[in-house]
């Protein structure tokens, strides 16, 4: 049977299990063994407790989810599991500023019959600020473990929806049996987007801006009414139980900020205009064009979270006969790209303390994106602050997390080398004191043939030579191995690929192929029991071996995918 066809069957079966609430693939311990102690002593490490600090031969003692001692010559408790971290580096675990971590996208609201488009129901218009992301969280979602695996201990999860989907919450990225086990702080921000209702008001940006002001002003009047009624209700009409207005009360009192998902400069400026008109505290997240609005953000005193979903570097067509128009277009693309990857450094120079948003970025791309910002002028201290102390301050949790200090939550990242070097790997994560161990892959040194010299011409395919060709792959689906061929080509300056079978079945296209610094990612859309399912594959190429993980967010499962380049695959 075609391996992809087998995999479709596997997904269809998985879907039925998910529908009946099965947790058979949830893993509470990557090692397969339960912890016998929650007391750990990590010894002989290089400790980067916060940006700008370093302590060699350090020991960090963790007990019952807290850091209880840090330093040299530390007394180790008798019941501690001692972890010799010689040659390893300890950092505070990272904090994600905004994503949909753990959230399941709800079905879009059905268009009501006889819809009155100038005034649609709130749920259809996407005006549900009274909702919470907590109602959308699936604690078994692999987005939780995937984000933890790349260094994050906490995520600010926001709900799916339209204009005002609801409130975001801070999640502890641990395995759990109940939502309460990972909920660090509920409803800490009111989340908003410039996304309108299809075919109804507010359906465009102008309508959204007007509606937002109207809702806010009504909420101000409602809040005053509620407060006056609480002081002396005699002779006063009882306030309406307006859930939308109530959701704005803590925002009006400045006990809660509004977080706008604003990737481009126009949305950032719209959000700031609303803040200036209405007076609330503002967070701006998922920013992709911050280079145009640095002064605006600084003047607004906004908490900023830059997107880690960076664009790919534009490719030069290498065509000697290209027209002036094509040349100018390529120059403009490169100019825009350079502005994009330098915006973090520009914000550091402007004195804006920013964080990062993981929304839209595949887990395997996050570290590469941070390093790209560093290669374009961002200091390593500022990068670490953006991942730790800055988001901790923005969310008001600096006294709990963000640095490695006694008394704080035991959220630690242990890496094989300084984190911001390309070859570093995460060996362990401690989240709320629970240890998660990851396999460290040895880097294989490339052997040179006698005929090779240090100044030989680049291989055919340039920087993509390592990925181009034919690969024999294996899906390690539970209960069986499924094999086939993966063929990757360069066509018109873009990577393309297919998964083929030998029984005459149609090829499966590989979509969104990206290869950079040894990391290959792509996606596939296949049919599983009548449902279209996206599989995201992320892995590392070392020599002629591809070691990857295929994730299926719709089913909260992942599994290994391995491939070896054929001898004639070049």
Mean pLDDT of all residues belonging to the chain? 86
Note the pLDDT of residue 31. Answer: 44
Residue 230, classified by CB atoms within 10 Å of its CB into exposed (0-12), middle (13-18) or buried (19+), is exposed
pLDDT at 2 over 80: no
Mean of the pLDDT values across residues 273-298? Answer: 96
Instruction: Report helix, strand or coil for 9.
Output: helix
Q: Where are the domains of the chain?
A: 3-28+460-569, 35-92+402-437, 96-109+117-401
pLDDT at position 557 is: 67
- Give the model's pLDDT for residue 323: 79
pLDDT tens figures, 220-260:
999 999 999 999 999 999 999 999 999 999 999 999 999 99
Residues 26-79: tens digit of each pLDDT: 334 444 444 557 899 999 999 999 999 999 999 999 999 999 999 998 999 999
Q: How confident is the model at residue 318 (pLDDT cuts 50, 70, 90)?
A: low
Alpha helices per DSSP H over 300-452: 324-350, 363-375, 380-387, 389-394
Q: Residues 455, 456, 462, 468: is their CA dihedral positive or negative?
A: negative
What pLDDT score was predicted for residue 449? Answer: 41
Where are any strands of DSSP class E within 359-481?
Answer: 412-415, 426-431, 434-437, 469-475
Predicted confidence at residue 458, as pLDDT, reads: 40
Name which of 306, 414, 416, 463 is nearest 370 in CA terms. Answer: 306
| CA–CA distance, 413 with 428 (Å, rounded to integer) | 6
CA proximity to 394, closest of 256, 247, 568:
256
Q: pLDDT for 198-216, tens place per residue?
A: 899 999 999 999 999 999 9
CATH number of 96-109+117-401: 3.20.20.140
What gap in Å lies between CA 190 and CA 127, rounded to an integer?
12
* Strand partners of residue 259: 191, 283
**What pTM does this model have?**
0.77
Spatial separation of the C-alpha atoms in residues 195 and 24, rounded to whole Å: 37
Q: Are 3-28+460-569 and 96-109+117-401 in the same CATH fold?
A: no
pLDDT tens-digit series, residues 78-131? 999 999 999 999 999 999 999 999 999 888 888 988 999 999 999 999 999 999
Q: Is 21 helix (H, G, I), strand (E, B) or coil?
A: coil
Lowest mean pLDDT across 328-332, 353-357, 529-533: 529-533
At 110 the pLDDT is 87
CA atoms within 13 A on the CB side of 50: 12
CA distance 322 to 317: 8
Best CA proximity match to 436, nearest among 186, 144, 137, 74: 144
Q: State the pLDDT at residue 244.
A: 97
Using 50, 70 and 90 to split pLDDT, how confident is the model at 330? confident
- Which is the CATH superfamily of the domain at 3-28+460-569? Quinohemoprotein amine dehydrogenase alpha subunit, domain 2 (2.40.128.120)
Are 387 and 373 within 8 A, CB to CB?
Answer: no
Helices (H), 133-264: 142-149, 205-231, 243-252
3-state SS, residue 445: coil
Q: What is the mean pLDDT of residues 461-467?
A: 76
Pick the CATH number of 35-92+402-437 from 3.40.50.1820, 2.30.40.10, 2.40.160.60, 3.30.310.80: 2.30.40.10
DSSP 153-184: EEEEE----SSB-EEEEEEE-S--SSGGGTEE
């Amino acid at each position: 049977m075609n391996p992809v066809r087998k995999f479709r069957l596997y997904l269809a079966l998985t879907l039925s299990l998910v529908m009946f609430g099965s947790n058979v693939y949830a893993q509470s311990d990557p090692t397969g063994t339960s912890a016998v102690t929650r007391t750990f002593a990590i010894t002989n490490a290089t400790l980067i407790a916060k940006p700008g600090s370093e302590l060699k031969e350090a020991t960090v003692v963790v007990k019952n989810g807290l850091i209880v001692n840090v330093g040299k010559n530390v007394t180790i408790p008798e019941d501690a599991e001692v972890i010799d971290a010689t040659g390893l580096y300890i950092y505070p675990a990272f904090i994600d500023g905004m994503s949909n971590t753990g959230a399941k996208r709800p079905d879009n609201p059905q268009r009501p019959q006889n819809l009155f488009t100038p005034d649609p129901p709130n749920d259809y218009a996407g005006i549900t600020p009274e909702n919470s992301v907590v109602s959308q969280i699936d604690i078994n979602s692999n987005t939780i473990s995937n984000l933890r695996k790349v260094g994050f201990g906490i995520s600010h999860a926001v709900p799916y929806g339209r204009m005002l989907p609801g409130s975001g919450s801070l999640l502890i990225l641990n395995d759990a049996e109940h939502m309460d086990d990972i909920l660090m702080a509920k409803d800490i921000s009111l989340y908003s987007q410039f996304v309108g209702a299809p075919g109804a008001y507010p359906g465009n940006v102008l309508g959204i801006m007007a509606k937002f002001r109207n809702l806010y002003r009504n909420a101000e009047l409602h809040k005053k009414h509620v407060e006056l009624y609480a002081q002396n209700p005699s002779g006063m009409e009882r306030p309406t139980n307006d859930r939308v207005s109530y959701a704005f009360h803590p925002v009006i009192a400045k006990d809660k900020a509004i977080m706008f998902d604003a990737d481009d400069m126009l949305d950032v400026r719209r959000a700031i205009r609303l803040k200036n008109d209405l007076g609330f505290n503002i967070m701006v997240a998922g920013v992709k064009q911050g280079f145009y609005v640095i002064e605006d953000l600084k003047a607004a005193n906004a908490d900023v979270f830059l997107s880690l979903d960076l664009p790919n570097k534009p490719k030069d067509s290498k065509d000697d006969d290209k027209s002036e128009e094509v040349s100018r277009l390529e120059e403009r693309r490169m100019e825009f790209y350079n502005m994009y990857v330098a915006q973090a450094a520009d914000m550091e120079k402007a004195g804006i303390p920013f964080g990062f948003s993981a929304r839209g970025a595949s887990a395997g791309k996050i570290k590469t994106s941070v390093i790209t910002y560093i290669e374009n002028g961002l200091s390593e201290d500022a990068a670490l602050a953006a991942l730790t102390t800055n988001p901790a301050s923005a969310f008001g949790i600096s006294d709990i997390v963000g640095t490695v200090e006694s008394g704080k939550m035991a959220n630690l990242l242990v890496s094989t080398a300084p984190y911001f070097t390309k070859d570093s790997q995460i060996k362990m994560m401690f989240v709320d004191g629970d240890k998660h161990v990851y396999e460290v892959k040895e880097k294989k040194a490339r052997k040179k043939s006698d005929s090779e010299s240090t100044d030989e011409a680049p291989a055919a395919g340039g920087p993509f030579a390592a990925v181009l060709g034919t690969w024999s792959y294996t899906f390690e689906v539970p209960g069986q191995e499924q094999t086939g061929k993966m063929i990757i080509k360069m066509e018109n300056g873009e990577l393309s690929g297919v998964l083929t079978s030998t029984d005459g079945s149609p090829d499966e296209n590989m979509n969104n192929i990206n290869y950079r610094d040894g990391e290959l990612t792509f996606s596939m859309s296949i049919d599983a029991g009548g449902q279209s399912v996206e599989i995201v594959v992320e892995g590392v190429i070392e020599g002629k071996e591809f070691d990857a993980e295929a994730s299926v967010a719709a089913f909260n499962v992942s599994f290994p995918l391995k491939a070896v380049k054929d001898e004639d695959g070049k």
